[in-house]
Chain A
């Protein structure tokens, strides 16, 4: 047996292994000359065996391996030890660029061969780079966390603090060392041991990965009483496991400011009410003695005339006139305060324009003659009738004419009346032109403002309160029109009143400031294109006592393409509903005096109004939380048979017998409803509270629900709320059954339910608005399913 081939076999076997290794390997002799290399080496460093073998390692590839670190390693470490591990070397190789190599060396003695050094080179460039990237990302994340001005705590799932950010340490005046690795409740001598926080972290966090805006009020020993808004996210953080990020926003100041705003608002509302009341009382107090002055002087005038005491009549007439003038001024002030309080109303009637103008002309004639002026009246032959508030039209004309007479001497005053067609509707246009002193542009701008005359000297010279034009303008605007003026100083003024020939009660336009067109020719105009007339089929009536909510709803619904009219009280709402016949009504539940339930009862008892869809809602102004009662319709107990039939026609399914669910805690009511419904061919299921109703709905989805609101266990509000959350039940119409003539106790219970909904599951302002829109969408779409049903009935 020849041992040599066997050795060769082993050598080639070893070479095979060496070549298979994917790490570059170099075999050196003790003089550091390359004995051999593996394939991976040649490939990695892009060199050939010929230029490698028997070369000193430092000379390889034109000296590219002449690296100080390597020299130290090979010449100082290898001679003294037979092994070295993970020597990291960073070097720019001419061919392959900058690399980070991890070197491992072994000194081996292989049989008869002299000792060789095996040098394994692992290229860790990529690994080092991603490690560096990762570190950068961590630093970056930490920087972000530290930059956030809100205090943040990172907790592990055992509620131990992993870290806090700078804001946390600063706000709570604690150091990282007394914070990290502590249980959150132990922080700052237990000042974080807050029951509400415990509930949050121990009950809510384990079951959900997010919670938002949890408000916490707590007396912190160091900081005092604070209101904190807590937000948390649970996140998976690699080898850190699951972490909870807790963000704490200090909203103490914000809440305080909100409270102050609310208080200021309340104070100003009280002040405003006090002012209105004062004006009302005052004007009454002033009017009573004036009535006596006017009345008695008139009476004495009559007596003096009878007894031929002519020397007295003239003086008595002056007393009467002055008294009447003073009375008129007081009435103006009262009118203006009424307009401001939104309490001025229109009394619409049809009247002949000729008669009205003749009447006004007769009244104004003495005043015109006083300054030696002449009055000319030019009326279009087709003037005819108009529908408006006659008293206000008369007053507006009288004010313009008396101004013209007052500011003109030995000139003329011309009153013209005509009909004009604009924007597809009929308008009545009055013009009062005079040849008087006229007005400059800056005076015109102030002209229609309350209590402002053209200037102070005018007041001295001509008298008056300066209220006439302001009132005229407000009256015109209330009737959906406006008054404009053109004037040239020294030559005269022309005032123009434009009013719709048929004024509707809802035509009030917004106050718009005068527009100055050029220096002496000024037009005061109200751009009515922004205030579209009420189109049939788009008008929604908003009944809410809170002006901010009315405004919010008005803006939102206008954007959605509805024409919006609003009422600030239940009584006004009912009146407007009768005039406007809106397509839907949004109704605030919580209103003083006549609350939403009373209005609802009145609406549903009125045969004309009972079919108008009502959306009951309420919102708490300062928190922005609100709720809508998701009902399709309302009926009052005891249920009227005719109304029930109409509701069934509108909402029940197309193929009877329709399954109908009656939810009421009173068994007698349930029984009577069942009888009525079964007579109409429906199949009735009963439930005595919300909880049982929900259970019953799981068995069978009804096509219609009749729902009582006040019930034990689960009330109707909560039930409606839950049903709305369920995707399959959301479309089931709910008809709320309320008591007719609610007692005080019932009303308190209803409103108590609303308040508890507001506190527990009330929705945000945006959600509320969307619910309103969804409800309106449902109403404005014709009920296709019931249309054929109705036709056959």
Chain B
């Protein structure tokens, strides 16, 4: 079961996304700002990070740059989630070191495809995604 770190300051977005991900069989841990996201990425060793970019305390770009520069965390795939759909936003996220990028509102199935591609676990969801609860 993959462990996903969701870094998101908006409570409803966090709630929706975490619940939908859990229903798909992922273990979801949550950080509400960049600072917390940074320390949880180091302490919790997640398999993938979903990173909102406009975050309080430390923004998502900076967190990503930091994580990608540190040996311990640089292998963790990061998917940037932004509210903007401009190509510069995408470029900006990629420059910061993000592995992929998606825009809000989240198209859930598209996001799942991107996550699976990065986790290399297209089979995992099928097996772990069964109704466990």
A and B: bona fide binding partners: yes
- Chain A residues within CB distance 8 Å of chain B: 284, 287-288, 290-292, 294-296, 298-299, 302, 306, 327, 331, 343, 345-347, 389, 391
| With contact pairs A347-B87, A347-B90 given, residues A296 and B105 touching in the complex (Cβ less than 8 Å) | no
**Do residues A345 and B88 form an inter-chain contact, with CB atoms below 8 A?**
yes
Binding site of A, secondary structure by majority: helix, strand, loop or mixed?
helix
Contact of B87 among A294, A299, A306, A346 (CB under 8 A): A346
Contacts of A299 in B (CB 8 A): 16, 19-20
Tell whether B57 is near chain A: CB-to-CB under 8 Å: no
| With contact pairs A290-B105, A302-B23 given, residues A295 and B90 touching in the complex (Cβ less than 8 Å) | no
**Do residues A288 and B10 form an inter-chain contact, with CB atoms below 8 A?**
yes
**Do residues A345 and B87 form an inter-chain contact, with CB atoms below 8 A?**
yes
Instruction: Choose among B20, B87, B131 the residue with the greatest number of A CB atoms under 10 Å from its CB.
Output: B87
Tell whether B104 is near chain A: CB-to-CB under 8 Å: yes
Bound together, the chains give a CA A389 to CA B85 distance in angstroms of 13
**Do residues B13 and A291 form an inter-chain contact, with CB atoms below 8 A?**
yes
Which residues of chain B in 75-133 are interfacial with respect to chain A, using CB atoms and an 8 Å cutoff? 83, 85-88, 90, 104-106, 108, 131
| With contact pairs A288-B10, A345-B88 given, residues A295 and B83 touching in the complex (Cβ less than 8 Å) | no
Chain A residue nearest in CB terms to B17: A295
Bound together, the chains give a CA A128 to CA B16 distance in angstroms of 110
- B5-35 interface bits toward A, Cβ cutoff 8 Å, 1 = contact, 0 = none: 0000010110011011001000000000000
Contact of A296 among B16, B23, B104, B108 (CB under 8 A): B16
| With contact pairs A287-B105, A295-B12, A295-B13 given, residues A345 and B86 touching in the complex (Cβ less than 8 Å) | yes
| Distance in Å: Cβ of B31 to nearest Cβ of chain A | 19
Chain B residue nearest in CB terms to A572: B88
| Distance in Å: Cβ of B76 to nearest Cβ of chain A | 25
Residues of B in contact (CB 8 Å), total 19
**Do residues B83 and A287 form an inter-chain contact, with CB atoms below 8 A?**
yes
**Do residues A295 and B105 form an inter-chain contact, with CB atoms below 8 A?**
yes
Contacts of A343 in B (CB 8 A): 86
A-B complex: 10 closest residue pairs judged by Cβ atoms: A347-B87, A295-B16, A292-B12, A291-B105, A345-B87, A294-B105, A299-B20, A345-B86, A299-B16, A291-B104
Chain A residue nearest in CB terms to B23: A302
**Do residues B83 and A284 form an inter-chain contact, with CB atoms below 8 A?**
yes
Contacts of A298 in B (CB 8 A): 108
Bound together, the chains give a CA A288 to CA B106 distance in angstroms of 12
* 12 examples of A-B residue contacts, CB within 8 angstroms: A292-B16, A294-B105, A295-B17, A295-B105, A296-B16, A299-B19, A302-B23, A331-B85, A343-B86, A345-B87, A346-B87, A389-B87
| Distance in Å: Cβ of A229 to nearest Cβ of chain B | 48
Chain B residue nearest in CB terms to A287: B83
Q: A295-B16, A296-B12 are in contact. List 17 more A-B contacts (CB 8 A).
A: A284-B83, A287-B105, A288-B10, A291-B13, A291-B105, A291-B106, A292-B13, A292-B16, A294-B105, A295-B13, A295-B106, A296-B16, A299-B19, A299-B20, A302-B23, A345-B88, A347-B90
Bound together, the chains give a CA A102 to CA B15 distance in angstroms of 121
Chain A residue nearest in CB terms to B131: A306
| Distance in Å: Cβ of B15 to nearest Cβ of chain A | 9
| Distance in Å: Cβ of A504 to nearest Cβ of chain B | 15
Contacts of A346 in B (CB 8 A): 87
| Distance in Å: Cβ of B11 to nearest Cβ of chain A | 10
Contact of A302 among B12, B20, B131 (CB under 8 A): B20
Contacts of B23 in A (CB 8 A): 302
Contacts of B19 in A (CB 8 A): 299
| Distance in Å: Cβ of B8 to nearest Cβ of chain A | 12
Chain B residue nearest in CB terms to A295: B16
